[in-house]
Amino acid sequence: MMRERISTRKLFGKFLLVQMPVFALASILGLMLLASVFARDEQNQLTARVGNLAARVGSLVSRQTAQADVSQMETYLGLLMADTAVRCAEVKVARRVIAAAPRKIGCKGQAGYQDLRLPVPGQPDQMLTIKFTDAELALINAEKSRFTYAAVILSLLVATIASWFAFGIINGK
C-alpha cells in the first residue's frame, strides 16, 4: 500500500512537470494574443476619439476663420486640450501658425507625440494640427499585464488542485 502511494506521487509529480509548463505556455501565448488585439483596438479608439473631437473643433474654427477672429479660434482649440491625450493644437496657413493652444505656445517643442492633421473645412489653405500622446494606453496595458500574470498563476493553481483530485479519484481514494 505504501509503495503504491509513493509511485502514485511520483507519477503525479511527473504529470505536473509535463502539464504545468505546457498549460502555462498555452495560457500566456493566448493571453498575449488577446492583449495585442485589445491594444490595437484601444489605439484605434484613442485616435478616433481625438479625430472626432478635432473634426468638431475644425468646423468651429472654419467659421471663425472667415471672420478672422483669432481669439475665438484659440478658444475653440482650447476645447481640444480638455482631452487628456491632447498636448497641443495649431491652425496653420501654409507654415505660419495663426492660432494655437496652449495660447502663444502651440506645438513648439512638442516632439515625440503622434500627429493628427486635418484640413480646416471650407478653408483649403488652412490645416489643423494636433499632437497627442498615448500614455494612457501604457497605463491600461500595465494594468492588463498584472491581471494576466494573476490569471495565469491562479489558473496554474486550479489546474494543480484539479489534477490532484483527478489522481485521487483514479487511484480509488
What is the spatial distance between Cα 67 and Cα 60, in angstroms, rounded to a whole number? 12
Q: Are strands 123-132 and 96-101 parallel, antiparallel or unpaired?
A: unpaired
85 band by pLDDT with thresholds 50, 70 and 90: confident
Which positions ≥6 away from 99 have C-beta within 8 Å?
61, 70, 73, 74, 77, 90, 91
What is the spatial distance between Cα 79 and Cα 104, in angstroms, rounded to a whole number? 16
Beta bridge partners of 128: 91, 118
115 band by pLDDT with thresholds 50, 70 and 90: confident
| pLDDT tens figures, 22-47 | 877 887 788 788 878 888 888 888 88
B/e letters for 7-42, b = 16+ CB within 10 Å, e = fewer, are eeeeebeeebeeeeeebeeebeeebeeeeeeebeeb
The predicted structure's pLDDT at residue 143: 83
What is the grid cell recorded at 119? 484640413
| pLDDT tens figures, 61-83 | 877 665 667 888 888 888 888 88
Q: Which of 148, 167, 161 is nearest to 10 (CA)?
A: 167
pLDDT at position 170 over 80 = no
The predicted structure's pLDDT at residue 110: 75
What mean pLDDT comes out for the span 107-124? 81
Beta bridge partners of 88: 131
| pLDDT tens figures, 149-161 | 888 788 888 887 8
The predicted structure's pLDDT at residue 75: 85
